[in-house]
């Protein structure tokens, strides 16, 4: 095998693999090609059947013509015999024999051709049925392919949603919420130790001391007035 032959075989191998890969990825193309090929063969078969039917019809017409001629000869022959015209009678007898032989040959041939025509028509109908069957198979198989691809896609999607990933996401959300809550707690705690808060507490304590001093002063004044009143009453008695 020469170099170019090996290159040719290698190229054919690559081409075959490429075609096979394309066909596997696009089965609808394979089905369409198969259906188109069968439609072309059906068209050719239909032409062949048409030719057989044409031959059958032609033989039928020829047979009918010869049978009609035979009936005419059979009607003319007794007249020629009665008229004593032996020459015409002999011609008619020869023609009768030729017609009888031709009719028998046509009948045999017509029977064969008619049988072939019926078988061809049955094959044509059967072939048409095969095309319809292939179309149904195409629709069913492509539907199965679409369903299988959808299931694979769903499975791949589910596989991509890892349980660990979900748990990690939830943990991140929980941690973020706790951090937010802690920030709020820190704000509350800082608010209690702020300068304003401490000043407020001092003001509150100062207010309490002032009110306490005022209360003590009021009690002292009331006690002084009471003591003065009691001293005045003693003097009046004396």
| Segment 204-215 mean pLDDT | 69
pLDDT over 70 at 234, yes or no: no
| Segment 126-130 mean pLDDT | 89
Query: What radius of gyration, in Å, describes the C-alpha atoms of the chain?
Result: 61
pLDDT on residue 59: 93
pLDDT over 80 at 195, yes or no: no
The verdict on 32 and 107 lying in the same domain is: yes
CATH of the domain at 91: 1.10.287
Alpha carbon distance 61, 65 (integer Å): 6
The verdict on 30 and 45 lying in the same domain is: yes
| Segment 103-113 mean pLDDT | 94
The verdict on 84 and 148 lying in the same domain is: yes
Report the number of distinct structural domains present in the chain. Answer: 2
Cβ(125)–Cβ(42) below 8 Å: no
Q: Which of 161, 182, 215 is the last residue of a domain?
A: 161
| Residue with the larger pLDDT of the pair 218 and 56 | 56
Mean pLDDT, the chain, rounded, equals: 78
Alpha carbon distance 198, 192 (integer Å): 8
Residue 16's pLDDT band, with cuts at 50, 70 and 90, is: very low
Question: Where are the alpha helices (H) located in the chain, listed in sequence order?
Answer: 3-25, 27-82, 86-160, 163-192, 195-237
The helix (run of H) or strand (run of E) holding residue 238 is none
Domain containing 106 equals: 3-161
| Segment 111-122 mean pLDDT | 91
Residue 85 is classified by DSSP as -
- pLDDT tens sequence across 46-105: 888 899 999 999 999 999 999 999 999 999 999 989 988 889 999 999 999 999 999 999
Q: Say what angle helices 27-82 and 3-25 make with each other, to 10 degrees.
A: 90
pLDDT on residue 237: 57
Q: Which residues, other chains included, contact 141 with Cβ-Cβ below 8 Å and sequence gap of 6+?
A: 27, 31
| Residue with the larger pLDDT of the pair 199 and 132 | 132
Cβ(106)–Cβ(66) below 8 Å: yes
The verdict on 213 and 107 lying in the same domain is: no
The verdict on 154 and 181 lying in the same domain is: no
CB atoms inside a 10 Å sphere around CB 20 = 10
The verdict on 172 and 155 lying in the same domain is: no
């Amino acid at each position: 095998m020469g170099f170019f032959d090996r290159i040719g075989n290698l190229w054919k191998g690559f081409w075959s693999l490429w075609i096979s890969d394309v066909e596997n990825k696009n089965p609808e193309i394979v089905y369409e090609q198969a259906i188109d090929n069968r439609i072309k063969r059906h068209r050719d078969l239909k032409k062949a059947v048409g030719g057989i039917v044409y031959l059958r019809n032609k033989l039928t017409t020829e047979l009918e013509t010869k049978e009609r001629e035979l009936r005419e000869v059979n009607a003319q022959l007794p007249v020629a015999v009665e008229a004593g015209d032996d020459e015409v009678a002999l011609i008619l007898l020869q023609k009768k024999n030729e017609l009888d032989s031709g009719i028998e040959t046509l009948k045999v041939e017509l029977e064969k051709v008619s049988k072939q025509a019926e078988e061809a028509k049955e094959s044509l109908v059967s072939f048409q049925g095969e095309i319809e069957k292939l179309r149904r198979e195409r629709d069913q198989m492509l539907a199965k392919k679409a369903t299988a691809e959808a299931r694979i896609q769903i499975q791949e999607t589910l596989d991509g949603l890892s349980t660990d990933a979900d748990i990690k996401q939830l943990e991140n959300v929980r941690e973020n919420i706790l951090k937010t809550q802690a920030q709020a707690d820190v704000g509350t705690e800082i608010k209690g130790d702020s300068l304003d808060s401490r000043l407020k507490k001092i003001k509150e304590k100062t207010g309490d001391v002032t009110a306490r001093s005022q209360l003590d002063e009021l009690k002292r004044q009331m006690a002084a007035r009471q003591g003065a009143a009691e001293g005045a009453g003693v003097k009046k008695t004396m």
